[in-house]
Amino acid sequence: MPTPLTLVPDSGPPAPPSSRPHAGLWTDLPVARYGPPAQAHDGVPRLAVTGAAGQVGNSGQVLQVAIYPARTNPVGDESDVTVEVRSHGPDGQSWLADEAGNPVDGSSPGALLAEQWNLLTAPAGARHISVHGGGVTGWVQARQVRAERLPEDVLDQVSTIRGSHSGFAHSRGNTAPVVAAPHGMIHLGPITDADDASWHYRWHSTNLVGVAVTTRPSPWLGGPAWLQVLPCDVDGGYIPVPLDHDAEADRPHRYRHPLPGGGAGDGPGDGSVQLTATERTGAVLVTGVPALALRAPDGQMCVEHLDGGRVRVRVRSVRVGEPERRPVVGHVVVETVGAVVVRASGATGDVLMVAPTDVLELRFAFSYLSHEQALRTLEQENRPHSFAELSRRTGEQWHTLLERLELLGATDAQTRTARTALARLYLWPSLAHENAGTIDHVRWVHADLYGRTDGTVPGQVDQVPAVDGPLYVNNGYWDTYRTCWPAYALLTPDHAAGLLEGILAQFRDGGWMARWAAPGYADCMVGTSSDVVFADAATYRIPGWDEVTAYDSALRDATVPADEPAVGRRDLARSRFRGWVTDDVPEGFSWSVESALCDDAMSRWADDLARRADALGYPERAAQWRADARYLGHRALAVRGLFDPGTCFFRGRDVQDRPSSAVGDFDPARWGGDFAETNAWGMSVSTVHDGPGMAALYQRHGGGLAAHLDRLHAEPETAAEAWCGTYPGVIHEMTEARSLRTGMCALSNQPAHHIPFMELHAGRPWRTQELTRDALERLFTGAEIGQGYPGDEDNGEMSAWWLFTALGLYPLHPGSGELVLTAPLLEQMRWTRADGTVLQVRTTRPDGTTLREARYIASVRVNGQVWERVSIAVETLRGDCLVEVELSTAPTSWGAASRPAGAAVDVPEAGWLVDATPRATVRPATMAALVDDDGSGVVHWPAGVALTLTWPGLVDADHLTVTLDAPARFAVEIRTGERWRSVAPLDLHPAWSNQTVPGLLPAPRLRALRLRALDDAHVRQVEVFGEMRRR
C-alpha cells in the first residue's frame, strides 16, 4: 500500500532540463513538493485544488494535476515515476489518470516521465489531491478549469505549440508555433526571446515579446529571424506580454494572443496580436498597443514613405554558409496598411512605427532574389486581400489536406495528434521558388542558392542569380528519408512529384544534392540520404518527375568523392575500395551504415531502371544500370564486415581492419565516436536493408536476433557522464533516451525508429505490435502543455512516424517497395487521395474489449484476401486498398513464418564479396598502383598496353570496377584454363572525374583477366570482385 507523502510549499524544480527553473507548470498557481512519507499521526497531506473552492456544480469543468517526478535513480527505470495521485472531494476519493488513460494508482508508471511535467486529469469536484509512494520526490500542482471539447473543424484540431516545451538539454519536439501555408517559404511566429537565435519561442517562458519572420528549419541550425516585430510604447520601450497558453490560439493558418490594455472597441481583434501567412507573404494585425518596433537582427533596413502616410521598409540580410558557395541573401519588404508615424531609435537600430489609432497592420513579403521580386510577390499574393481573407485562403489549403484523413474510434487526444502530425508533415520542405511573371502567366524562378561563388566576397553580395524552375529547401534528409518522403509518396503521390522535382534542383544548380538543405548546403549529419528518398519514390511509380536525373544525383554520391565537406559521402575516396568508413573518420560506423542503405536502395532502383530502359527512352543505359545494380548491391553487404564476433556487436574498424578503439575500451553503452547521436546498442540492428544477414550473424555468434533484441530492451540507458564518449558532456539525446524507459531503444531519435520493427526479422511480429502500441500510447503525450513528442520533431519525421505506426504500416526498408505491418491504433483510419483512391485500415476486436487491450494481430485481409505476410507491396497500397486487421488481446503466431524484404543482392551465410586483386599477380608490375586500394594517384595507361591479373586458383568474379577521370575503352580477355578468350569490350563513360564505374564480366569463374586499353586512358584503380569473406 503506497504511503502518503508530505506536501510542502516550494518554488518548483531547481534545474529542469526543458522547463523554467523554480517555477511550476502554471506559473500563477502554488507549487508543492512531495517527499518522504508523512508520519501517521499527521494524516494524509493534501494540496488544495486551485479554482475548485466556491464552485457551484462542476458542469464543463475538469481537474488537472501537473506532476514533476524528480530523478533520484540514475538508471532509467520505473522507480521515480511509480506514484499514486488521488483526488479528494465530497463524493470520496479516486485516482487521477494520465493522458494514455492509465490510472495513476502506483501499480505502474504508465505514461509518466521523470524530470518532465506530466499532466493528469480527473472529473471535476475534488477539493484536494494527495500523493502516495515510497522513496520518491517531486513537485505537484492542481487546478480546476473549463474542459476543452474537441472542435469540429479539423483546423482547430491542430496545435502548433505542440513540441515547444523543450530546451537545449531535453527535447519534447523542439518545435515553435508558426503560421504558414503548406510548404510555405516563410513562417510567422510568436517569439519569447528576441535575442535567442535558436529557440525563438519556449512554451515555459514568462512573456511574449513579439513576432518573427523566419525561414529557419531547425533550432539546431540556428540563425536569427529575418525580421522581428516588437510591441512597444511611443518612446520605443518594449512591452512584454504575459504569455497565456489558455488564451493562445495556435492554428496552422492563424495565430492569436491577447495583449494587455485592449482597444477602443469590444471586437475580437481588440487587444491582441494576430498572424497569418500565404506561401511567400504574411500579415500581422496588432491592436491595443501604441507602436511597433521593426528589428532586423543581422540586416539593414531602409524606410520609404508612401501615399496616404503609409510606410514601406526594405530589409536585407546576407548569411554566409559553406565556403565557395553563394551566400543566402534574404529580402523582406514590409508595408503598413494604414498611416503611421516613423521614428528611428538610434540606440537599438529599430524602426519605430507609431499609429494614430490603436490598430497597426503590417504586410510582409520575402524573396531570396531581390526587393523588387518581394514587391511583385506582395502584389500577387497579399495586397488585394484583407487580413481575414488571407487567413481564410490559407486555412482552406490546410483544411483540404487535413480533411482527407478520417478517424474512427480515436480519443480527443489521438485526433489532435493525428491532425497536428499531418500539419507538421506538410509544413516541410519549404518552397523557394518565386513568380517572376504574372498571376495569369506564371514563370517560376528561384535564387541559385547552390552555385559556386564567382570570387565576390560573400558579405558584399547584393543578390544571387535567378534560375528557372521550382526549388524546395529546408530539409535534413537523414531525418526525413525514413518516414516523411515515404508518406508523401503513399498519401499524396501527385504532390510528391513536385517536391521531388523541387529538391532535385539542388543537384542541377550545384552539382550535388544537399545532405541538409538549410536552405543551401550544410555540412550536417551522416549519409547522402536523398539517394534513398529518390529510390523509394521510384517504387511508387510516381509520374511527373525526372527520375533519371535523380538517379544520376545518387550515382554521383555513391561513386565520386566530393571535394568539399558539405556534400557527398565522407571518406568515399577510401571507403569505396575498402567497403566501409574507418574509425579515423568521426561517426565512421554511422557513415558506413547509411552508405550501405543508400547502396542497397540504388541497386534495386538501377535494376528496375534497366528493365524499364526502353520505356524511359534510355535503351543505351540499360547495360550500365545492370552493372550498377550488381556492384552497389554487393557493396551494400560489405557492412557485414563491421560485425565483431568477439563482442557480438557491430562496430567501427580501423585502417588495419581491426575493431575500433575510437572511444577507448569498447563498451556498447558509450556514445559518440563511431556512432552519430547514439551508441553501439542503438546501431546494433541498424542494417535494415539486410535483416536476414544480420539475423544470421547474431544466430552464429550471439544466440540469435531475438535474444539480442531482448537484451537491447532490457539494458537501461543511464545518460551518465561516464558514457558520453567523444561528446563533451551529456547530450539531449541521452537524457531523452533515459526518460523513455525503453532500454537502449531510443525512440526519441531517428537512429532507433526502426528498432521495434526489427523484431519481424526475428520472427516475432507480436513483439513489434507490443512495442509500437506502447510507444504510441506513452511517448506522444503532453501536447496540451507544449510537449507531445519523445524527442526532436525534425521536419515532420516524428509526426510521420506516428502516422505510419498508428495506421499499422511502416516503411522499415525504404527503397524495397514494401511496407511492414503492425497493430493499428484505431478502429479505422481512412485516407482519400486527390485522385479519389482510398487507403483504408479497419480493425475489429473481441467483444467486450477495448482498443487499448487489443494490441496484437490475430489475422489480416488485404482487399479481401487472407494475408499471412508481415509486409505489403507499395504497388498494392497505391490504389484503392482495404486492409482489415482482426486484433487480439494476447500474442498470436500471425506472420511469424514470414520476413520483411532482405538485401537487394544476397550472399549466403552472411558473407560479402571483396576485391580479389590483392591476391592476384599483376603484370606489368609498373601498373601495381592500379590495385592498391588507394586510388589517390592517376596512372597513365597508354593505348595498346594490357594489364594482366592472374590468380593462384579460380575466382568467382562477375563484375569489376574501374575508377577513372574520362571515358575509356578496354578489350577484355579471360582465362579459366590454359587458353585466353576474348569477351565483350568495356566501354566506360564516367560522368565526372574520379568516378568508380562498374562493368559486368560474362564468366562466373576465371583464373586470369586481361584488360587492354584501346585508347590512352587515365585510371586510378581497378577492382575485380570475386572473393568471399565472412565474419
Report the distance separating Cα 285 and Cα 972, nearest Å.
74
In this prediction the pTM is: 0.96
pLDDT tens column, 655-690: 888 888 655 688 999 999 999 999 999 999 999 999
Q: What would you report as the CA-atom Rg of the chain, rounded to the nearest whole angstrom?
A: 30
**What pLDDT, on a 0 to 100 scale, did the predictor assign at position 269?**
47
Q: Which three cell numbers stand for residue 532?
A: 534513398
Share of the chain above pLDDT 70, in %: 96
Residue of 992, 990, 982 lying closest to 1012 (CA atoms)? 982
pLDDT tens column, 738-793: 999 999 999 999 999 999 999 999 999 999 999 999 999 999 999 999 999 999 99
Complete edge-to-edge strand list for the sheet that includes strand 254-258:
249-250, 254-258, 272-277, 281-287, 359-367, 328-336, 311-319, 299-305
**What pLDDT, on a 0 to 100 scale, did the predictor assign at position 664?**
61
| Cβ 1016 vs Cβ 942: under 8 Å | yes
| Cβ 392 vs Cβ 462: under 8 Å | no
Strand partners, 273: 257, 286
465 alpha-carbon distance from chain centroid:
31
Strand ranges (E), 763-812: 809-810
CB contact set of 441 (below 8 Å; sequence gap of 6+): none
Report the distance separating Cα 909 and Cα 927, nearest Å.
35
Tell me the three state secondary structure of residue 352: strand
The angle, 0 to 180 degrees and rounded to 10, between the axes of the packed helices 530-539 and 484-491 is 20
| Cβ 557 vs Cβ 531: under 8 Å | yes
Average pLDDT, the chain: 93
CB-hemisphere CA count at 13 Å for 242? Answer: 8
Other C-beta atoms closer than 10 Å to the C-beta of 940 total 11
**What pLDDT, on a 0 to 100 scale, did the predictor assign at position 916?**
94
Residue of 481, 282, 491, 475 lying closest to 401 (CA atoms)? 491
Q: Which three cell numbers stand for residue 554?
A: 545518387
| Cβ 24 vs Cβ 139: under 8 Å | yes
Tell me the three state secondary structure of residue 873: strand
pLDDT tens column, 885-911: 999 999 999 999 999 999 999 888 888
Residue of 10, 85, 88, 22 lying closest to 49 (CA atoms)? 88
What is the DSSP secondary-structure string of 416-446? HHHHHHHHHHTT-SEE-EEESS-SSS--EEE
Report the distance separating Cα 451 and Cα 820, nearest Å.
40
Report the distance separating Cα 258 and Cα 26, nearest Å.
18
**What pLDDT, on a 0 to 100 scale, did the predictor assign at position 267?**
46
* CA diameter of the chain: 104
Q: Which three cell numbers stand for residue 984?
A: 565483350
| Cβ 47 vs Cβ 129: under 8 Å | yes
| Cβ 281 vs Cβ 333: under 8 Å | no
Q: What are phi and psi of 515, to 5 degrees?
A: -85, -40
Report the distance separating Cα 908 and Cα 613, nearest Å.
30
Instruction: Characterize the bridge pairing of strands 838-844 and 881-888.
Output: parallel
| Cβ 859 vs Cβ 894: under 8 Å | yes
Report the distance separating Cα 381 and Cα 442, nearest Å.
13
Q: Which three cell numbers stand for residue 494?
A: 501527385
Report the distance separating Cα 64 and Cα 69, nearest Å.
16
Exposed/middle/buried for residue 215 (C-beta within 10 Å: 0-12, 13-18, 19+)? buried
pLDDT tens column, 245-303: 999 999 999 999 998 754 333 344 469 999 999 999 999 999 999 999 999 988 999 99
Report the distance separating Cα 1026 and Cα 1023, nearest Å.
9
Q: Which residues of the chain have pLDDT under 50?
A: 41, 56, 262-269, 346, 459
Provide the sign of the torsion angle of the four alpha carbons 884, 889, 895, 899, taken in this order: positive
